[in-house]
Amino acid sequence: MEKLESIIRLIQDNKGAPSRAPIAAETRFREDLGFDSFDLAEFTVHVEDAFGVDVFEGGVVETVGEVKKKLKI
């Protein structure tokens, strides 16, 4: 989870919207984190680099919990 959180923080920092608001399994990428499709794409690249899994393959994931499930972490 720490690794996943650090990727989310990195994307928030990169888009000039740093935040340290808590991230939970039910946190939604679009509504809660304000990620657009470009942010989501960037997120998938970093997650794939770190875990070797393309979490968006087979459709969009909406929450942090869904990503954890796909990564089995």
Partner 1 sequence: MTGKILMRDGDSVLTYPELLERVNAAQSYYPALQTGSLVEFVSNLVVALARGGDVVLLDSDLSADEVAGLGISGRNEARKIEGAPFADIGAVLEAVKKSPSKISIFTSGTTGLPKKVEHTVASLAAHVRVSENYSGHVWGFCYSPTHMAGMQVLFQILFNRNAAVNLFRKSKQAVYESIDKYGITHISATPTFYRLVLPEKAAHPSVRRITLGGEKSDKALYGALLEVFPSAKINNIYASTEGGTLLASGGEYFKIPDGEEGRIIVDENNELLVHKSLLGESDSFILDGDFYRTGDLVEWIGEGKREFRFLGRKSSLVNVGGYKVNLEEVEDALRSMPEVADALAFGQKNSVLGNILCADIKLKEGAQADVARIRNFLADKLQPFKIPRKIRFVVSMESTATGKIKRL
Residues that bind partner 1 in the complex, under the rule CB under 8 A: 13-14, 16, 30-31, 36-38, 40-42, 44-45, 54, 56-60, 62
- DSSP reduced 3-state for 31: coil
Least distance CB 65 / partner 1 (angstroms):
16
Question: Residue ranges of the alpha helices (H) in 15-63?
Answer: 37-51
Task: Rank residues 37 and 72 by Cβ distance to partner 1 and give the closer one.
Answer: 37
Least distance CB 1 / partner 1 (angstroms):
22
| Nearest-angstrom CA–CA distance, 59 and 57 | 6
